[in-house]
Amino acid sequence: MRTLLGSIEAGGTKFVCAVGTDDLEILERVSFPTTTPEETMALVIDFFKQYDLQAIGIGSFGPIDIHEDSPTYGHITSTPKLAWQEYDFVGEMKRHFDLPIAWTTDVNAAAYGEYVKGHGKGLSSCVYYTIGTGVGAGAIQNGHFIEGFSHPEMGHTTLRRHSDDLFEGSCPFHGDCLEGMVAGPAIEKRTGIKGQDLEETHPFWEIEAYYIAQVAYNTTLMFSPEVIIFGGGVMKQDHMLEKVRQEFEKLVNGYVKTPPLKEYIVTPALVDDPGTIGCLALAKEKIR
């Protein structure tokens, strides 16, 4: 009999729920809008009740409590999404499913997906950034997430400002942090145009690449990962990757010898699936 696993990619706008096998094949996938915990979780629970699952992996928007010995383990903590503040996500799932549950951030899950089945496969380290509605990242070293008192929050680090950029930034906490300068809503607020509708020739993309290259540069110097993967809606701009690589090369200025940039700075091999594959893989780890 094949082993069925559940995956929840809990995002700020939608929850993507999937059922897959322990070969990490996705069999079924649905998506529910993120409204209130009552509404959204009722749909999630009904969906999974249809299957005889062995484990569930959750990658959630955050910040979240990841410490198993903490009284609020499994909770979403200080999110700006008020309805979900201090929400006991894992506790609610445990009330409905007597199963092992893997719990991590959305970006850690995506990093893990690429690590086991994408550009990180066969390597011992990778860092995954998403640049979408928000910015976040997960880092893996020897199969483990890099974390300490909590999970990293690499989406809110600081940047050196581009000399042509006067935008004040859109992060409600920090203004012009990384997320406040490069995420989709920052692009729209600054240019008045959604990223997907902004011409490839628009001068803003040079500024965006200048910032994302700094992210790759800082990541390189701090973690020296074997690959840096940039996912999320904004990176659907095919021309961005090459711009980022060029700016990165200028920043590094020969100081460190990285792997060839075409293999080092990449978009996800799993395209839109790194989070789902990662959650399935983390669920599978729970039943080993």
196 binds ligand ADP (CB under 6 A): yes
234 binds ligand ADP (CB under 6 A): yes
Rank residues 13 and 35 by Cβ distance to ligand ADP and give the closer one. Answer: 13
Query: Contact with ligand ADP (CB under 6 A): which of 6, 37, 155, 184?
Result: 184
Query: Residue 28's closest CA among 284, 276, 283?
Result: 276
Count CB neighbours of 63 within 10 A.
15
- Count residues near ligand ADP (CB under 6 A): 15
Dihedral angle at the C-alpha atoms of 29, 32, 34, 37, nearest 10 degrees? -100
Dihedral angle at the C-alpha atoms of 117, 259, 137, 276, nearest 10 degrees? -10
Query: Residue 87's closest CA among 45, 135, 36?
Result: 36
184 binds, options ligand ADP, Zn ion, none, Cβ within 5 to 8 A by partner type: ligand ADP
177 binds, options ligand ADP, Zn ion, none, Cβ within 5 to 8 A by partner type: Zn ion
Dihedral angle at the C-alpha atoms of 46, 32, 271, 122, nearest 10 degrees? -40
138 binds ligand ADP (CB under 6 A): no
Binding-residue pattern over the window 169 to 188 for Zn ion, x denoting contact by CB under 5 A: --x-xx--x-x---------
Rank residues 4 and 198 by Cβ distance to ligand ADP and give the closer one. Answer: 198
Calpha distance 58→204 (Å, rounded): 35
Query: Contact with ligand ADP (CB under 6 A): which of 3, 92, 147, 185?
Result: 185
Rank residues 12 and 63 by Cβ distance to ligand ADP and give the closer one. Answer: 12
Query: Residue 62's closest CA among 51, 46, 74?
Result: 74
195 binds ligand ADP (CB under 6 A): yes
The CA R_g of the chain, rounded to the nearest whole Å, is 19
Smallest gap from residue 88 Cβ to ligand ADP (A): 23
3-state secondary structure of 180: helix
Smallest gap from residue 174 Cβ to ligand ADP (A): 18
236 binds ligand ADP (CB under 6 A): yes
Calpha distance 196→188 (Å, rounded): 10
List beta partners, residue 128.
138, 229
233 binds ligand ADP (CB under 6 A): yes
237 binds ligand ADP (CB under 6 A): yes
CA distance readout (Å), 145 to 5, 10, 108, 110: 21, 18, 7, 11
Calpha distance 103→109 (Å, rounded): 9
Part of the chain binding ligand ADP (CB under 6 A), chosen from 10-18, 159-167, 202-210, 251-259: 10-18
Smallest gap from residue 156 Cβ to Zn ion (A): 4
237 binds, options Zn ion, ligand ADP, none, Cβ within 5 to 8 A by partner type: ligand ADP
Of all residues in this chain, which one has the CB nearest to ligand ADP in the complex?
184
174 binds, options ligand ADP, Zn ion, none, Cβ within 5 to 8 A by partner type: Zn ion
Residue type, 137: A
Binding site for Zn ion (CB under 5 A): 156, 171, 173-174, 177, 179
Binding site for ligand ADP (CB under 6 A): 11-13, 132-133, 184-185, 194-196, 232-234, 236-237
